[in-house]
Amino acid sequence: MSMSEPQAGPSGRRTRDPVSTPPSAGPLAKREARLAWGLLLPTLISVALVIILPLLAIFWISAKPINLGDLRPTTPDVYERLKGKPKATGDASIVEFRLKNSSREKPIANVTMVDDWPDGLVPVELDERCAIAAGRLSCNFGDWKPGYREKLQIEVIAEQAFLDSGINIRDSVPVMEGDASSDLFSLEFTFENFRAVFDSSEFVEVLWVTTFYTVVGTVGALIVGMMAALILNKSFQGQGILRGLFLFPYVAPVIAVAFTWVTLLDPFSGSFNALLVQMELISAPINFFGDRPLALISVTIFEIWRYFPLSFLFILARMQSIDTDMYEAADMDGASPFQKFYYLSLPQLMGILSVLFLLRFIWTFNKFDDIFLLTGGNAGTRTLTVNVYEQAFAISNIGAGAAVAVVIFACLLAFSFFFFRFMSREEGL
């Protein structure tokens, strides 16, 4: 059992060696490493596709002047029909293709069309851009200008074979192809999106709102969670039920609890306002999610309400693993309850508290659904994440939305730097 292959990560921690490995990277170790990568491969590929690729894409998009409407691809459109139905052999009719460029702004190059051509339909004169061979009509239209339209008509004489087959020419859909440039793929880059985002007077407010929401929400959830853990950190009947109950806000779907709070706090028909008025605490109903700066405070309190269970759970788990001998010794020395909490419990909890703080800080910073459902980002509650949605979908400026997303990502990188510095010290991750 030799410990070969030093693999001191930044944390300097090694996992326990489960099997005997020969010194240096022997064949067994190599095989193990191969197996490990093999086991991880599906995960790595899927994560790369759905997480790394979009992360790179967001940088690309943020430097593009594109709108929601530009996402619809520019395509050559066609509508095919037979004018004048042939009834007997030798009847003349016209096969008509209505051709159109779907975009009014962008040209399409090298437009081609391929369609099935039924037997027994003989063209009188064929457009020079088209040819019929082996039951297929193929046309080459060259380049189309923006908004290009054309009616391509082919005069035909019907033969018996066509009448017998009963083919409807509209059954086969013509295949159109063409090269349309998309702004998304052009090699033109601009800082316009970033300038628009940073220049706007709103940006300072968005930053302030994000900071308030994140800091107060995180600290609040930690403190409230700790209080809940403190009162449940003793065994009594019904403790399990209470613990389950306290987790409700976290487990329920955000959509359900957010709409419930909106209903509860509604200024016109909400029970909470009615209750306050009846208790003579206020004289007129309060618009909790509609007035500045109350809306921001309300969404932050909602955030605390919804996420205190998580810190409660982790802190309680840590509390229950603290050795009780210590407290007994403290009791002997005559320590008071507050002293025991301050000098004994708190230092023991510091590790989990700092980890929870960092985790919750990052997650609160990233939070989108809650505010979006409660206020839609109105009344001074627009955080960075809500701003991404606002720019991209409400103003339909995808590029600007991506620019805000890049700002979020940059903040996140900074956080994770801190995160790993603290994590590796406190919990040895």
Q: Which residue has the tokens 């083919």?
A: 167
Shortest distance in whole angstroms from residue 256 CB to another protein: 4
- Distance of CA 209 to CAs 194, 254, 293, 297, Å? 19, 21, 10, 10
Return d(Cα 426, Cα 429) in angstroms, integer.
Answer: 8
Shortest separation between residue 94's beta carbon and another protein, angstroms = 34
CB nearer to another protein: give 222 or 388.
Answer: 388
The CB-of-251 to another protein minimum distance in angstroms stands at 5
- Full strand arrangement of the beta sheet holding 121-123: 76-83, 92-101, 149-158, 121-123
Q: Listing from the earlier edge strand, what are the strands of the sheet with 130-133?
A: 130-133, 136-144, 108-116, 175-180
Question: Residue 393: how many CB atoms within 10 A of its CB?
Answer: 12
CA neighbor of 60 nearest in space, from 426, 409, 428, 421? 409
Is 103 buried (19+), middle (13-18) or exposed (0-12) by CB count in 10 A?
A: buried
Distance between alpha carbon 149 and the CA centroid of its chain, in Å?
39
Residue position matching structure tokens 């407010």 = 205
Minimum distance from residue 351 beta carbon to another protein (Å): 9
Dihedral angle over CA of 123, 124, 128, 132, nearest 10: 20
- Whichever of 187 and 251 has its CB closer to another protein, that residue is 251
* C-alpha–C-alpha distance, residues 342 and 346, integer Å: 5
Instruction: Please report how close the Cβ of residue 273 comes to another protein at its closest, in angstroms.
Output: 8
Residue partners of 372: CB distance under 8 A and separation at least 6: 386, 389
Burial pattern 308-327, b for ≥16 Cβ within 10 A else e, equals bbbbbbbbbebbeeeeeeee
Cβ nearer to another protein, comparing 67 with 89: 67
Kindly tell me which of 131 and 255 has the beta carbon lying closer to another protein. 255
The nearer residue to another protein, 169 or 405, going by C-beta atoms, is 405
In the bound state with another protein, the residue whose beta carbon lies nearer, of 160 and 260, is 260
Residue 59 backbone phi and psi in degrees, to 5: -65, -45
Q: Which CB, 88 or 251, lies closer to another protein?
A: 251
For the bound state, the minimum distance from the C-beta of residue 74 to another protein, rounded and expressed in Å, comes to 12
CB of 99 or CB of 402, closer to another protein = 402
Nearer to another protein, 122 or 350 (CB): 350
Helices 53-62 + 398-426 axis angle, to 10: 130
Please, which contacts does 363-366 make with residues 24 or more away whose CB atoms are closer than 8 Å?
363/307, 364/213, 364/214, 364/217, 364/218, 364/221, 364/303, 364/307, 365/210, 365/214, 365/408, 365/411, 365/412, 365/415, 366/408, 366/412
> CB of residue 409 vs another protein: minimum separation in angstroms?
6
State the nearest-atom distance from the C-beta of 200 to another protein, in Å. 19
Q: What is the dihedral of CA 240, 243, 247, 248, to 10 degrees?
A: 60
Closer CB to another protein, residue 23 or residue 54?
54
Q: Which residue has the tokens 């007035």?
A: 291
Q: Which is nearer to another protein, 90 or 334 (CB)?
A: 334
